[in-house]
């Protein structure tokens, strides 16, 4: 039996490798004539990257090859302790992390017990490297969105810069295996008000221009080795003030993308973008990076419409239609001014900045619920949302070996048990007085992770390192970028001590 199993595994691996290395000809017509495509497909695990002469684009700088809890009891101070005893060790290391117990303060930030914080970059200042050198460039202003990508034994933290007058763009901080900075560079320049981007299944970055009625969505190489390009995702529904982008790749041969546009008086909407089967067949096994979202003659673009239940307005059903006017009307009525979106395990999360609500949409059942993000005495505006386990392979629905082979850009970690009450959906809020990072567990309980006490603007660019041991965020007003880690050395997906939930 062991010999047979080994033979079968060898066959699967051989098939996967053959498909990944195969070459596809043809390509369908291009509706994105402004796209710039360059060489270097090997960056994404694909050997052949088509080349064409670029049309004028924003300046891109070259990179350096470089057990369900029981109901909680209220206390007199309004804080709800976790109901069940938790382990005090994980492996051989004692746990010290207590989410919600803001006992620490450093850099003007109140931190949950057991967290350490380090300032790693600040606007207009050169970035310090692990080898004692410093960056040639000063760190850009207004960091506003970001995510991380594996890079050998280290990783890259890519972030947007929310500046107008052609001064926006995308930059990247590179880290070694120890989590120390080794490089800073700009990947995209001369754009406007970039924010709240996300990755693609093949390991590139999508950056949203949040320009009133005239924004694009760019695809960017985290290493800076391939020229950035505009995508059809940001133009098939017309130019807009894009506020967020995400994808669902549970079906690896038919990835689905989602994008949100903010604004008022009909400017806000959400779309579902499905590449055509012809484009998928042409590019999936050979050259998806910088082509699948640019060269497609017939993608499907649909608009989100919510239908609340009359007797229970915080829940209902939803659908996707090709009527843009109905999509905009639905958004204006029920979910206007979406500030960010996220997809994890078949669930689409949307934050409404004006309504201060979190929308949870089940993409399979097409049912949704909403809940307020206003907690305790804090009434900040929700700005960004991020799931700890997003894009790291630790999903409830296990991926096949073939799916893992197809997505070489993802850091597929080992799947293991995660505490059921551990908050994994993180979001950032802010107002003129205070900003913070909060987290929600699957039972709908919220906990405060940290809060800024110096009125330095919104918290943005929330992201986690691929090993989940480092959390990153930026303060937009001061341009400071911080790294947060647990002093016990565990990841943010590991067990914690008692948690103080918000009432």
Between 130 and 423, whose confidence is greater? 130
Proportion of the chain in helix, strand, coil states, percent, rounded to 5:
10, 40, 50
52: left (phi over 0), alpha (psi -120 to 50) or beta: beta
Residue scoring higher pLDDT (176 or 295): 176
Among left, alpha and beta (phi > 0; psi -120 to 50; other), residue 419 is beta
Which is it for strands 338-344 and 104-106: parallel, antiparallel or unpaired? unpaired
pLDDT at 54 over 70: no
Give the pLDDT mean for 351-355: 84
Q: Is the dihedral of CA 319, 321, 325, 326 positive or negative?
A: negative
Residue 352 CA to residue 330 CA, distance in Å, equals 13
CB 304 within 8 A of CB 316: no
- pTM, full prediction: 0.79
Name 115's Cβ contacts closer than 8 Å, sequence gap at least 6: 97, 104, 449, 450, 484, 485, 486, 487
The 10s digit of each residue's pLDDT in 237-296 is 888 999 999 999 998 788 999 999 997 666 899 999 999 998 988 876 556 678 899 999
Residue with tokens 């000809």: 25
Tell whether the model's pLDDT for residue 9 goes beyond 70: no
Instruction: Indicate if the pLDDT at residue 334 is higher than 90.
Output: yes
CA distance 334 to 247: 22
What pLDDT does residue 431 have?
A: 66
Give the mean pLDDT of 359-388.
81
State the chain's mean pLDDT as an integer. 79
pLDDT at 267: 82
Count of CB atoms situated within 10 Å of the CB of 21: 13
Q: Among 50-64, 211-225, 401-415, which is the least confidently predicted range? A: 401-415
């Amino acid at each position: 039996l062991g010999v047979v199993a080994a033979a079968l595994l060898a066959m699967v691996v051989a098939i996967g490798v053959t498909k990944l290395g195969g070459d596809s000809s043809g390509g369908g017509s291009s509706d994105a004539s402004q796209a710039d495509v360059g060489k270097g497909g090997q960056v994404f695990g694909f050997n052949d990257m088509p080349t064409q002469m670029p049309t004028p684009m924003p300046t891109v700088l070259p990179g350096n090859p470089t057990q369900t809890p029981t109901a909680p009891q209220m206390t007199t101070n309004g804080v709800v302790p976790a109901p069940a005893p938790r382990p005090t060790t994980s492996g051989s290391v004692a746990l010290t992390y207590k989410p919600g117990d803001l006992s620490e303060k450093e850099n003007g930030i109140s931190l949950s017990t057991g967290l350490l914080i380090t300032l790693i970059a600040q606007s207009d200042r050169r970035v310090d490297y692990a080898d004692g050198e410093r960056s040639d460039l000063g760190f850009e202003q207004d960091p506003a969105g970001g995510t991380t990508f594996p890079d050998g034994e280290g990783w890259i933290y890519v972030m947007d810069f929310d500046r107008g007058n052609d001064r926006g763009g995308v930059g990247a901080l590179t880290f070694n295996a120890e989590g120390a900075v080794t490089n800073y560079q700009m990947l995209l320049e001369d754009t406007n008000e970039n924010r709240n981007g996300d990755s693609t299944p093949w390991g590139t970055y999508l950056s949203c221009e949040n320009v009133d009625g005239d924004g694009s969505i760019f695809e960017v190489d985290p290493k800076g080795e391939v020229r950035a390009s505009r995508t059809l995702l940001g133009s098939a529904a017309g130019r807009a003030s894009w506020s967020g982008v995400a994808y669902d790749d549970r079906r690896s041969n038919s990835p689905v993308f989602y994008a949100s546009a903010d604004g008022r008086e009909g400017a806000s909407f959400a779309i579902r973008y499905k590449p055509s089967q012809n484009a998928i067949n042409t590019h999936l096994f050979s050259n998806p990076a910088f082509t699948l979202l640019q060269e497609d003659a017939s993608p499907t673009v649909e608009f989100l419409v919510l239908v609340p239940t009359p007797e229970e307005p915080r829940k209902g059903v939803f659908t996707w239609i090709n009527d843009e006017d109905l999509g905009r009307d639905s958004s204006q009525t029920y979910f206007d001014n979406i500030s960010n979106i996220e997809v994890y395990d078949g669930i689409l999360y949307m934050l409404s900045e004006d309504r201060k609500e979190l929308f949870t949409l089940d993409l399979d059942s097409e049912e949704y619920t909403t809940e307020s993000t206003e907690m305790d005495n804090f009434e900040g505006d929700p700005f960004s949302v991020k799931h700890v386990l997003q894009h790291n392979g630790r999903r409830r629905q296990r991926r096949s070996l073939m799916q893992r082979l197809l997505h070489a850009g993802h850091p597929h970690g080992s799947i293991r048990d995660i505490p059921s009450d551990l908050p994994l959906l993180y979001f950032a809020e802010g107002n003129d007085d205070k900003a913070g990072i909060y987290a929600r567990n699957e039972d709908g309980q919220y906990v405060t992770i940290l809060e800024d006490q110096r009125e330095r603007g919104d918290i943005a660019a929330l992201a986690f390192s691929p090993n989940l041991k480092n959390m990153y965020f930026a303060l937009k007003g001061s341009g400071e970028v911080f790294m947060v880690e647990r002093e016990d050395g565990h990841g943010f997906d590991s067990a914690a001590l008692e948690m103080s939930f918000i009432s």
